[in-house]
Amino acid sequence: MDLAKYETLISDLSALESQVEILKDKYSDTLERNKELEVSLNEIQQDKNLLHEKISELESELEEIKLKVEEKSKLNLEEREELKIKIKDLITRVDKHLSADISG
């Protein structure tokens, strides 16, 4: 009877040892996978930071372009107003010359 219990105990211990080995292998695999994932995460975070920097640069560039366009359109408006004034002045002069020719 003691021999049967001993054999059962040895069998149970062998089964436990197999399960422990399986768990140990799974743990090692998990650790390795976690290391790989950490490396990937770090690379992704670096890429994310680079993309944020690029976005900031592009936003700044866009603001500069907007300001330049605004300045150009303001200049165009100012130039138009100056041209209108010059044209009105010329029309006034032509009118004076025409009225002087008619009366004279």
Q: Give the angle 29-33-39 at the CA atoms, nearest 5°.
A: 150
List pLDDT tens digits, range 16-69. Answer: 999 999 999 999 999 999 999 999 999 999 999 999 999 999 999 999 999 988
Alpha-carbon distance values, 93 to 4, 98, 100, 104 (Å): 130, 9, 10, 16
C-alpha torsion angle, residues 76, 81, 86, 92 (rounded to 10): 150
92 — phi, psi (to 5°)? -60, -45
* 74-86 pLDDT, tens digit each: 778 888 889 999 9
Confidence at residue 95, expressed as pLDDT on a 0 to 100 scale: 85
Helices (H) and strands (E) in the chain, counts: 1, 0
